[in-house]
Structure 1
Amino acid sequence: MTVRTGRVELTAEAMELLRRLIAAHGPVMFHQSGGCCDGSAPMCYPRGEFRVGASDVLLGQVGGDTPFWMSGDQFRHWSHTHLTVDVVPGRGSGFSLEAPEGVRFLLRSRLLTDEELSRIESEPPLPTGADEIA
């Protein structure tokens, strides 16, 4: 199995929060939509309680085996970036599992390097929700 170029990771603070959320709720997943306001932040849901769409893209697994999905429209804008999930004080969406904790997940980004982009070009396309449905 080929190891893909990493496109998303967690800060230590986000990893610790993810561990607490998994302990409280079981396996979880992230989804990054392209909506306004809270929809522009990564949302954390109990796995199986959010259905990805056919055009959603699986960027990778974070914190071991937690899938990180992004809407296809959003991915077209962010495909040239590496994302880091961080945690900041404040109240995010009531739908994301971290909301009662008084913190919210936040994405930080950087451009992919020329080397990373070159490796990505040689890799198969990222899985989509259509692959999950099939």
Structure 2
Amino acid sequence: MAPPVTDASPPAATPPLQVTATASALQLIDTLRSRHGPVLFHQSGGCCDGSSPMCFAVGDFIVGDRDVRLGEIGGADFYISAPQFAYWKHTQLIIDVVPGRGGMFSLENGEGVRFLVRSRLFTDEELAALSASGRV
């Protein structure tokens, strides 16, 4: 007997995470949370510490109306400015930690390490899934 014919579409692909973090970054987030309470991240494109992901205690940074929530890393919401999102929407941000000084207002300043953005381009299939979900 032939299988029944259906007109159901195949299930949509699960969209990929738009922001992830390395084990080192997750460990540093836990350390900062233990000292400062809940934290959040903001990625801007401005001057000064512009391209560094900045970590703030919740309440110490006001998220703008146009900021885009990419997701969360280590239980911390991660936001990006709308102009930066328009530029980077085709990439997955991977938050890592490297030796150095953190941004002047970022909580990791003084720890001897800093957060760093690494990235990779989404595949065509991943972009299609993000588009279908309304995320790009």
TM-score, structure 1 normalization? 0.87
Which runs of structure 1 show a deviation greater than 2 angstroms over 4 or more consecutive aligned residues?
none
Larger radius of gyration: 2
Secondary structure of 2:16 counterpart = coil
Candidates 73, 93, 99, aligned match of 1:89: 99
Higher helix residue share: 1
Distance 1:78 1:125 in 2: 12
Candidates 9, 14, 18, aligned match of 1:7: 18
Give the AA of the match of 2:124.
D
Which structure 2 segments of 5+ residues have no match? 1-13
The answer on whether the counterparts of 2:49 and 2:104 sit within 8 Å (CA) in structure 1 is no
Partner of residue 112, structure 1:
122
Structure 1 residue 37: Cα displacement? 4.2
RMSD, aligned CA: 1.4
TM-score, structure 2 normalization? 0.85
Distance 1:7 1:29 in 2: 16
Partner of residue 68, structure 1:
78
Give the AA of the match of 1:68.
F
Distance 1:107 1:41 in 2: 7
Candidates 29, 39, 44, aligned match of 1:28: 39
Aligned residues: percent identity?
A: 54
Secondary structure of 1:39 counterpart = coil
Pick closer, same or farther for the CA change 1:75–1:104 going to 2, 3 Å: same
Distance 1:45 1:29 in 2: 5
Aligned residues: 123
Distance 1:96 1:37 in 2: 12
Distance 2:116 2:48 in 1: 12
